[in-house]
Amino acid sequence: MNVRGKTILVTGAGRGIGRSLATHFAGKGANLALLDVNADDVNETRARCTQLGVTARSYLADAANEDSVVGALGRVMEDFGALDGLINNAGIVRDGMLIKVKDGQVVGKMSLAQWQAVIDTNLTGVFLCAREAAQHMISRNVRGVIVNVSSISRAGLSAGSVSPMKSPTRSASSSRTTSLPAAAWRSMRGCDSELQDAMQNKRFVPGRFVREILYNIIDSNQLVTDI
Ligand SMILES: NC(=O)c1ccc[n+]([C@@H]2O[C@H](COP(=O)([O-])OP(=O)(O)OC[C@H]3O[C@@H](n4cnc5c(N)ncnc54)[C@H](O)[C@@H]3O)[C@@H](O)[C@H]2O)c1
């Protein structure tokens, strides 16, 4: 994929896979719009991309919040003029037991807030960012690409994981990947037929990567080799 000179928006770009994807594409000559809730982290990613000779800007925004996403995408369009790719990477895990039992007694249960936080980021966030990005791509007649980062846990829990919410949200973001283009194309009926294939939708399914505690001792660029 030739991304030189293209503008790519990465959500959750402050660290981990998002940062690796951002610097990977910066190394291939793409300009980066970097969205995250953590200012220090996303500014560090921006600095690393800029060092690679491309234009990179950071946007402090919550992918799960409609006003935040609409505002950030609007600023991206003002700054870059076009959007060629979105990588829906922002995601969270809230490990925890549905019900915690000790000596045969229920001593705890997962809170609705824990559940909702994961749904909001991993599912609603994908919807909001894809909707806004697709709108800007289509209105500017850009043949854009949207990549949804999913997980091998979309098919069920992986060994050692204690996160009952991750599988359903990642399963849903995977199926959203196939339903998004259809929905977008339906909405484009009556438009120029060339727009019918204006939006491609992709899914990226990582296995289990090291988490932040190991990022300090492993070059995070090794996490993403090609896409
Ligand atoms: N690390 C793994 O083993 C693994 C495996 C499979 C899938 N994934 C998926 O890959 C993606 C990235 O995982 P990671 O391990 O790099 O995560 P991470 O926790 O290291 O980084 C996630 C980044 O997203 C940001 N973020 C979280 N919520 C946000 C929100 N609402 N709005 C904007 N930014 C937000 C965080 O601040 C952070 O910078 C996730 O979607 C995750 O489900 C990860």
- Over residues 11-23, the mean pLDDT reads 97
> Is 81 a residue whose pLDDT tops 60?
yes
Distance 23 CA to ligand 1 centre (A): 16
Q: What is the mean pLDDT of the chain?
A: 81
Nearest residue to 127 (alpha-carbon basis) of 166, 172, 163, 94 = 172
- Residue 95: predicted pLDDT: 75
CATH of the domain at 30: 3.40.50.720
Domain membership flag for residue 146: yes
| Structural tokens at position 38 | 């953590």
- Over residues 88-92, the mean pLDDT reads 96
Distance 171 CA to ligand 1 centre (A): 16
Q: What is the number of structural domains in the chain?
A: 1
pLDDT band with cut points at 50, 70 and 90 for residue 199: very low
Rounded Cα gap, residues 24 and 3, in angstroms: 11
- AA identity, residue 33: A
Domain that holds residue 24: 7-223
pLDDT digit string, tens, across residues 38-73? 999 999 999 999 999 999 999 999 999 999 999 999
Instruction: Please indicate whether residue 23, judged by its CB atom, sits closer than 6 Å to ligand 1.
Output: no
Instruction: Please indicate whether residue 118, judged by its CB atom, sits closer than 6 Å to ligand 1.
Output: no
pTM for this model (two decimals): 0.82
Domain membership flag for residue 185: yes
Domain membership flag for residue 1: no
Kind plus residue range of the DSSP H or E element containing 148: strand 144-149
Distance 121 CA to ligand 1 centre (A): 9
User: Ligand 1 atom closest to Cα of 13?
Assistant: 39
Higher pLDDT pick, 180 / 24: 24
Domain membership flag for residue 85: yes
Domain membership flag for residue 2: no
Query: Rounded to an integer, what is the distance from CA 57 to the centroid of its chain?
Result: 16
- Residue 40: predicted pLDDT: 98
Rounded Cα gap, residues 187 and 113, in angstroms: 34
Exposure string over 75-112, b if 16+ CB within 10 A, otherwise e: ebbeebeebbbbbbbbbbbbebeeeeeeeeeeeeeeee
Gap between the terminal Cα atoms of the chain: 8
| Structural tokens at position 196 | 């019918």
Instruction: Please indicate whether residue 34, judged by its CB atom, sits closer than 6 Å to ligand 1.
Output: no
pLDDT digit string, tens, across residues 147-176? 999 887 766 655 555 566 666 676 666 665
